[in-house]
Structure 1
């Protein structure tokens, strides 16, 4: 692999042991993927939640901070495993609270912005076309690649941290033009009506064409979806299909036309999605009982527009059981300023900040609270949460709200 003089110096240890570790890590990743060089990145976004790291991971971060590790580029953090304001109230333990505080302290010492959000692209770090990034979290990466036209692979926590300490990533995968062209064609024979429908599209496409190197080209949209709708589409594609990129013809920047999206490629396969297929995506999530044990909105975290929609749907009503809505600290402050938070809390909705439900020691929450059947409008959460012992029920937003209020799952 070709290295510049600065990169060779970092690899030789001129900037200290933490940077040497980071460069060694990046060279190992690049060697595995056959990268010929490194590429500078503008920012990094890292996973480092307490449930995933455990005690060994926390000690590793503290050791790097003790060695003087400092981020060279902006470094934002993905959601953590607990909302400090209510962790014990909702059934989490003091140990996960303590773990998360240690993680944040270590990352802050290294210069990270302790954002704890998976919607950094909507709030603190908006990507733009052509720039190289070192982002983790599947939803952030696919949004950056597809919607913004930026360039990033799925960077695991250590790789994103290594990129922050060196300002570099190996040039492979979606940093290169040849991996960004369409591979399969998806035609919309019916129009998604809301963000949950766009999540259903992602579910159907991801199941049909799984694989990191697949780049679905979606054609036939009669209107440009909102940022929150493409957020749900991308998050579902990344969850069900491990996709890091998609093209939406006439909407995303590298797909002004179908020919633009495919480049020199011909579509390898074709999928047509009609209303029956969308309805089938919902019907595939079968409730085990008539009512939910818990209703969850979020994953990815909710924007202020999504909280406004929920506030309108819940206004003047009262929930029948536990209902959680997850968002970022910055969005929650806006929702409080605009009155949406007050409306939702009056209805009995608990607003959680800095977290996503599946990262919140979900198995332990289920055991302590008797949660089994979980209703959500997030296709991504429905896919992931089953692995934590839940019975997921994916439904459109209004159906989820009605289930939360009536205690019964319609349909």
Structure 2
């Protein structure tokens, strides 16, 4: 069952709620708002729409409710943000229904989901769990949103819905490309969830889907940390393939902006007088029923990205590199996955990490620019620097 976090009078989950001067403030829910992407979206909402009534729906306990002094923690991803909080598990239909009935939101940004680690990406061990969270959890959210008369629903999907077929290259693809017939359990789950969300689009509740590329930023646990770990392991001289393949990455703050723009678009096209978005651009087209690739629009090779990360930590790889042919890397990745399955110990290497290191995968940002008005505010270099600075602080704390 969903439950509101208890706090003092005038607070919810120990997060002070400032009274809104607007007679009818927009009320918005961010699922998974305590997580990596969700917290970035809450920060973006706070920046562009401080007048909105923002709520986080998450299955975890609100850290600030548990320790009120955490509000001054420089590593707190929600530092300085004002929000309401409701605890609910999206795999529990009753929990979701209760939560949305309590809040009655105008809009929902659904980011909650599960992303398997690279060592599990092409295995099937977690298939039931991934489907339960990413597919059925999304179904529960959409059903509850409609019953609570939500007007706008934005879903955080992934580029993996299209680019997981490693038998081909994906250079400058766009939203007209079909979903992948050969995918990982994660990609498959996102395809099913997308279909649920788009099918729900109608005049009463507008829906759209965002497909971010590989993400990095403050709070990242899946890209910056393993690249940094290569330093201590002495693996920075190793290059899988030729190291020249281009792929998309996205700074999490830019993805957050795209979500805000999507919500604005859906709500504005339901109103009599469409407005300008958070970047000041007038809207010409509705995002309802549409999908969008979201990235930094700066394709980069995996090797160059890794070098940029290592540079931020003061590490320069040896002058001579050791190149591992892609085929050999794939075999070694498979062996590592078998080891993970047998021992239960995750490894850095996997077929997924090898394919990621060798694949050509980047998309056009034209549609998101045209309809949403999306333009990355933070460039790749600045995003990598901010991400590494935050991760360095995390490492310092962990070593104490």
TM-score range, shorter chain: under 0.3
TM-score relative to the length of structure 2: 0.27
More helix by share: 1
TM-score relative to the length of structure 1: 0.27
